[in-house]
Amino acid sequence: MTAHIHDKTTIGQVSLKVSNLERSIRFYTEVVGFQLLRQTADTAELTVDGEHPLLTLKYIENAVILPRQSAAGLYHFAILLPNRVALGLSLRNLLAHEIEIGQGDHDVSEALYIHDPDHNGIEIYADRPRDQWKKDADGFYIMGTDPVDAEGLVAISENLPWQGLPQGTVIGHVHFHVSNLLKAQQFYCDVLGFDITSRYGSSAMFISAGGYHHHMGLNIWAGEGAPPAPENAAGLDYFELIVPDQKELDAIVARLATAGYAVQEREGAKYVADPFRINIKLVSGQNE
């Protein structure tokens, strides 16, 4: 039977390895708009709501900063804002800090793209209403790459104060370089149970739970057979995959074991590495 992950599965916290903790804290608070929740000598937890961490920064001594698109691993993590006005305010703040900004109107959403000081990719985006998302003849979401209406975003947020990332902001999706799309599909779809929602030629695919346009993007833009990122490289530490209850978590762990993947338990949480050494923290919503 084909695996199917629970429709209410979401992406949770993202943990990044960084080469300079104070520099990264400044970037993610002043430029991106997180709040500092707590800090130790080598970690910082950042929040939106003042209570729950959404991004963790982990200092790695003598961390290697990789060239962009040079290894399997993080392409970007995507911060989903609650509305278009918030996206306009984020754009204004990025412009004020003279940050290099990429952008794309993907039909289902409008997105801005930046990089942190360690070359970690970040997408900041707002969805269009779901009833406006369109599918092609194969049932895949139509996601284009047109220019964003930047002038409209600036206009819609005019005379409003920048107050950082607003309440309701979440991690909407994560996007990875992988070394082989078929292996990625076998792991994320056949074992974990995500659905394919769109393809970008033969070089990228997008997958989700519950009919979302995508919770994950997977591409081979770093090259077919791209090596995993070294352990001492700045980049992704892990990302959380949140399922709604213990029953679903147990089912995923069982499927992973059957497929030969080792699930480790650390500090009461379960972790697994995908075929490209991308680390996933498996979380039950009951524990949140």
Q: Quick one: average pLDDT of 12-37?
A: 98
Q: What amino acid occupies position 195? A: D
Give the pLDDT confidence of 95-112 residue by residue, as tens digits.
999 999 999 999 999 999
Domains and their CATH numbers in the chain: 10-287 (3.10.180.10)
User: What is the model's pLDDT at position 282?
Assistant: 97
Give the pLDDT confidence of 228-283 residue by residue, as tens digits.
999 999 999 999 999 999 999 999 999 999 999 999 999 889 999 999 999 999 99
- pLDDT above 70 covers a percentage of the chain that reads 99
Burial class (CB in 10 A: 0-12, 13-18, 19+), 35: middle
Give the pLDDT confidence of 75-94 residue by residue, as tens digits.
999 999 999 999 999 999 99
Q: Quick one: average pLDDT of 65-78?
A: 95
- Tell whether the torsion through CA atoms of 191, 195, 200 and 202 is positive or negative: positive
Average pLDDT, the chain: 96
Q: Quick one: average pLDDT of 11-17?
A: 98
- Of the pLDDT bands very low, low, confident and very high (cuts 50, 70, 90), residue 286 is low
Tokens in use for 137?
Answer: 């003849």
Tell me the C-alpha distance between 28 and 115, whole Å.
11
pTM: 0.96
Give the pLDDT confidence of 140-168 residue by residue, as tens digits.
999 999 999 999 999 999 999 999 999 99
pLDDT at 287 over 60: no
User: What is the model's pLDDT at position 288?
Assistant: 44
Tokens in use for 113?
Answer: 């793209």
